[in-house]
Structure 1
Amino acid sequence: MTRGLPWLGLGLLILAQICYPLTGGGARAALTITTVALGYLLSVSHAALTRGPRVATALVLVTTGGGLLVEAAGVSSGFPFGDYAYSDALGPKIAGVPVVIPLAWTWMAWPAWLAAVRLVRHPAARILVAGVGLAAWDLFLDPQMVAEGYWTWSDPSPSLPGVPDVPLGNYAGWLVVAVLMMALFAGLAGPTSPGRDAPMYALYLWTYYSSILAHAAFLGLPASAGWGALAMGLVAVPLTFRVRAWPR
Structure 2
Amino acid sequence: MSARRVLPWAMLALLVLAQIGYPLTGGGTRTGLTIATVAIGFVLSVGHAVLSRGPRSAAALVLVTTGGGLAVEACGVATGVPFGGYDYAGTLGPKLLGVPVVIPLAWTWMAWPAWLVAVRLVRPAVARIAVGAVALAAWDLFLDPQMVAEGHWTWLDTDPALPGVPDVPVGNYLGWLAVAAVMMTLLRLTAGVDARRVDGPADAPMYALYLWTYASSLLAHAVFLGLPASAGWGGLGMGLVAVPFAVTLIRSRRATRPGGQQRRRAT
CA offset digits 1:51-97 (Å, max 9, x no partner):
00000000000000000000000000000000001000000000110
Alignment of 1:232 onto 2:226: no
The runs of at least 4 consecutive aligned structure 1 residues that moved more than 2 Å come to none
- 1:3 Cα deviation (Å)? 1.1
- 1:193 Cα deviation (Å)? 3.0
CA distance, structure 2, for counterparts of residue 194 and residue 93 of structure 1 = 37
- 1:22 Cα deviation (Å)? 1.2
TM-score by length of 1: 0.99
What is the one-letter code of the residue matched to 2:237?
A: A
CA distance, structure 1, for counterparts of residue 62 and residue 100 of structure 2 = 17
**SS of the counterpart of 1:32?**
helix
- 1:194 Cα deviation (Å)? 4.2
CA distance, structure 2, for counterparts of residue 31 and residue 155 of structure 1 = 29
Residue number in structure 2 paired with 1:23 = 25
Residue number in structure 2 paired with 1:90 = 92
CA contact (8 A) 1:51 1:193 kept: no
Residue number in structure 1 paired with 2:172 = 170
**SS of the counterpart of 1:81?**
coil
Residue number in structure 2 paired with 1:70 = 72
CA contact (8 A) 1:37 1:100 kept: yes
Larger Rg: 2
Pairs within 5 Å for 1:4-19: 4-19=6-21
CA contact (8 A) 2:83 2:173 kept: yes
Pairs within 5 Å for 1:37-186: 37-186=39-188
What is the one-letter code of the residue matched to 2:197?
A: S
Identity %: 70
Residue number in structure 1 paired with 2:226 = 220
How many pairs does the alignment contain? 248
**SS of the counterpart of 1:39?**
helix
| Structure 2, unaligned runs of 5 or more | 258-267
| Structure 1, unaligned runs of 5 or more | none
What is the one-letter code of the residue matched to 1:12?
A: L
CA contact (8 A) 2:74 2:98 kept: yes
Residue number in structure 1 paired with 2:38 = 36
Q: Provide the alpha-carbon RMSD of the alignment.
A: 0.7
CA distance, structure 1, for counterparts of residue 228 and residue 132 of structure 2 = 26
